[in-house]
Structure 1
Amino acid sequence: MSDPALLVPELPPESGEAAQVLPQTVDGVAVARLYGEPLFTLPQDLYIPPEALEVFLEAFQGPLDLLLYLIRRQNFNILDIPLADVTRQYLSYVEQIRSSNLELASEYLLMAAMLIEIKSRMLLPPKKTEDGSEPEDPRAELVRRLLEYEQIKLAAARLDALPVLGRDFLRAQIHIEQSLTPRFPDVEVEDLRQAWLDILKRANLKQHHKISREQLSVREHMSIVLRRLQGQRFALFEDLFEVDRGPQVLVVTFIAMLELARERLLEITQAEAFAPIYVRLAYAPS
C-alpha cells in the first residue's frame, strides 16, 4: 500500500519572480525538492490516485493463514471442514488480490486448486483399499497441515508476548560516583603463588655455572688398581671402577688398567665368550 504523503507529483518548473524568490539550498525548512529547487509548501491541487488509498484490513502470511482464518472466524470444525463454503470464500479473496497483485495471488491459487481437488474427490464414491479398510478422508492431509500451522502460529504469538529488551523494557543504568581514594583489588593466595613461581622460573634462566678442570693422573690410578688387587686372587672387571665419581674417573681408570696390562703387570682373563671378565696381578707381591 502506498503512502499518500509520499506521492508528490512532478510540477512544471516555476518561472519569473516566484522562481527567483526560492533559495538555492534546502536548509531543513523545505519539505521536498522539485526539479532541483526546494519546495516549502505542498501544492493545493495535489492529485492522489485512487489505488494509493487502498486499505487492507487483514494481512495474511500465506494460503494456510488465510484458510485457517476463514475456518476459525465462522467456528467451523477443523476436523470436518465444509469445503464448499470455505472454498467459495477463499476464491472470493483470491479474486480480489488477483486484480492488484498477480504475483502474490499465484501462491493462493495453488491452495485454491488443492481445495477444489479435495472437494472433487469427496464427490466421487470412495475406493476400497487393498486390505479392505475404509479409505482415508481426502481432507486428512489438509487438516494435519492446518493443525501444525496453528500450533506454530500460537507458539510464535506466545514468544512475541514475552517482554523484549528495548521494546517492552529498558535496562536500568545507574551512574555511581566513585570515591576519590582508589580502591585496589584484593590479592588472593593463588596470585602470590603464581608470582613466586614466575620469579623462580626467571631465576633458573639466569643461573651461573662454573666449570673447573680436575687434574687426574693415570699413574696415580695405576697405583690404586694395584693396591686393590693385592691380597685378592681374582677381581671382577667392573668392580675396579668407581662409578659414583663420574665418567672422567672411569676413563682414567680404564686407561690405567690398559697401561698395566701393556706393562704385563695385570692379567685380564675370560673363561668363555660372554662370560664375566676377571682381573688379577701378573706377579706375586713379595
Structure 2
Amino acid sequence: MKRVQPVVDAVDLLAAAPAGEVATPQVIDHVAVARLYGEPLFSLPQDLYIPPDALEIFLEAFEGPLDLLLYLIRKQNFNILDIPMAGVTRQYLSYVEEIRSRNLELAAEYLLMAAMLIEIKSRMLLPPRKTAEGEEPEDPRAELVRRLLEYERMKLAAAGLSELPHYGRDFLKAQVYVEQSLAPRFPDVELADLQAAWRDILGRAKLVAHHKISREELSVREHMTLVLKKLQGRRFAPFEELFDIEQGAPVLVVTLLALLELGKETLVEITQAEAFAPIYVRLAYKAPP
C-alpha cells in the first residue's frame, strides 16, 4: 500500500517572506553564497526554478485509509466499538482534501474510504430495519469496526516483530579466521555427506549395468518322449496334466509342439466328447497286422 505523508512545502515559506526581500542563504566562506560541484557561487541565478514539491517537511506518516482512520480514532480516545461517525468523517475529509490538492492519483483510495464513511453515516440516520423478536438491529458500523480491529492487530503484530533483533540490522555475526600453519585441520565429514556420496555411486553404477540374456535350448523330440512316457499305462490323460507349469513358459510351448507333432504322426489321439467338454489324450491304438 502506498505511503502518504501530510507535508508543508518549504516553497510556501519562501513565498511568505516580505515583499521586496529575496530569501538567500547565508554567505559561505565569507565570499560565496553557495557552492555547486565544489565551485563557489557569488550570486543566485535569475532563472532558478524550485518545483512546488522540491522541499517538504514530513509531519505524520500513514500506510493507507485504514491507518489514517485508526489514527484519528485513537488520537481522540474514541471507543472503536461506538465510533462518532460525524466527527471522524469531518476530520477524515479535511485530510483527504489536503491530499487531493497535492496528489490526485494517490487520493483515490482515500476517497473510496470517505464514500464508505458517508454511506455509514447516512444509514445510521435511517430508521433501523425490523428484525425478529429478541434480535438487535444490525449496526451499520459493524463491518468497519471489524476491519479496523483486524488491521490494528496486524499492525501491532508487525510492530512487535520489527522490535525483535534482526540479523544485519541490529547485530552482525562475528567471524574469526585463525590460520593453523603447523597442524592443518581438514573439514569434518558428516553422516549425510557419506549417504549422499553413496547414492551418487549407486546412481552411476546403474548407468553402466549390463543385462545378459541366456539362450536355453529345448528339444521337441525329447519332450515327445516325455509325453509318451506320461501316457504309458493310462487309458486317458487330461490335456492339462501333460504340462508342467512350474518349468516356465518356454517348456510349455515346447510341450505343446511335442503334442501336436505326436498327433501328426498318429502316435497319440486327442479326443473331446462334446463341445466345451474336457480334452483327453491317449496313446493311439494300432491293430496287429
Under TM normalisation by the shorter chain, which class is it?
0.5 to 0.7
Instruction: Indicate yes or no: 2:44 matched with 1:44.
Output: yes
Q: Describe the SS at the equivalent of 1:102.
A: coil
- 5 Å-filtered alignment, 1:45-124, equals 45=45, 46-124=48-126
- 5 Å-filtered alignment, 1:19-30, equals none
CA-based RMSD of the aligned residues comes to 4.3
Q: Are the counterparts in 1 of residues 231 and 237 from structure 2 also a CA contact under 8 Å? A: no
Q: What TM-score comes out, normalization by structure 2 length? A: 0.52
CA shift, 1:114, in A, is 0.9
Q: Describe the SS at the equivalent of 1:55.
A: strand
CA shift, 1:41, in A, is 4.7
- 5 Å-filtered alignment, 1:236-255, equals none
For 1:51 and 1:97, the matched residues in 2 are separated by: 13
For 1:148 and 1:156, the matched residues in 2 are separated by: 12
Structure 2 equivalent of residue 135 of structure 1? 137
AA of the residue aligned to 2:113: M
Structure 2 equivalent of residue 222 of structure 1? none
| Greater length-normalized contact order (CA 8 Å, ≥ 6 residues apart) | 2
Bigger CA radius of gyration: 1
Q: Deviations over 1:22-70 (max 9, x none)?
A: xxxxxxxx83xxxxxxx84567345534432232311111100000000
Structure 2 equivalent of residue 182 of structure 1? 184
Structure 2 equivalent of residue 262 of structure 1? none
Q: Describe the SS at the equivalent of 1:52.
A: coil
For 2:79 and 2:118, the matched residues in 1 are separated by: 19
Query: What percentage of residue pairs aligned between the two structures are identical?
Result: 68
Structure 2 equivalent of residue 271 of structure 1? 233
Q: Describe the SS at the equivalent of 2:67.
A: helix
For 2:237 and 2:86, the matched residues in 1 are separated by: 109
Structure 2 equivalent of residue 165 of structure 1? 167
CA shift, 1:274, in A, is 4.2
Unmatched segments (≥5 aa) in structure 1: 5-29, 32-38, 206-246, 259-266, 277-286
Q: Deviations over 1:204-255 (max 9, x none)?
A: x9xxxxxxxxxxxxxxxxxxxxxxxxxxxxxxxxxxxxxxxxx99xx9xx8x
Unmatched segments (≥5 aa) in structure 2: 1-6, 11-35, 209-215, 242-289
For 1:71 and 1:157, the matched residues in 2 are separated by: 19
Q: 1:157 to 1:182 in 2, by over 3 A?
A: same
Q: Describe the SS at the equivalent of 2:168.
A: coil
Q: Describe the SS at the equivalent of 2:53.
A: helix
For 1:52 and 1:74, the matched residues in 2 are separated by: 33
Q: What TM-score comes out, normalization by structure 1 length? A: 0.52
For 1:44 and 1:154, the matched residues in 2 are separated by: 49
For 1:122 and 1:130, the matched residues in 2 are separated by: 19
Q: 1:169 to 1:114 in 2, by over 3 A?
A: same
CA shift, 1:170, in A, is 0.6
For 1:85 and 1:179, the matched residues in 2 are separated by: 77
Q: Describe the SS at the equivalent of 2:54.
A: helix
For 1:131 and 1:73, the matched residues in 2 are separated by: 39
For 2:106 and 2:63, the matched residues in 1 are separated by: 11
For 1:105 and 1:70, the matched residues in 2 are separated by: 17
Q: Are the counterparts in 2 of residues 128 and 134 from structure 1 also a CA contact under 8 Å? A: no
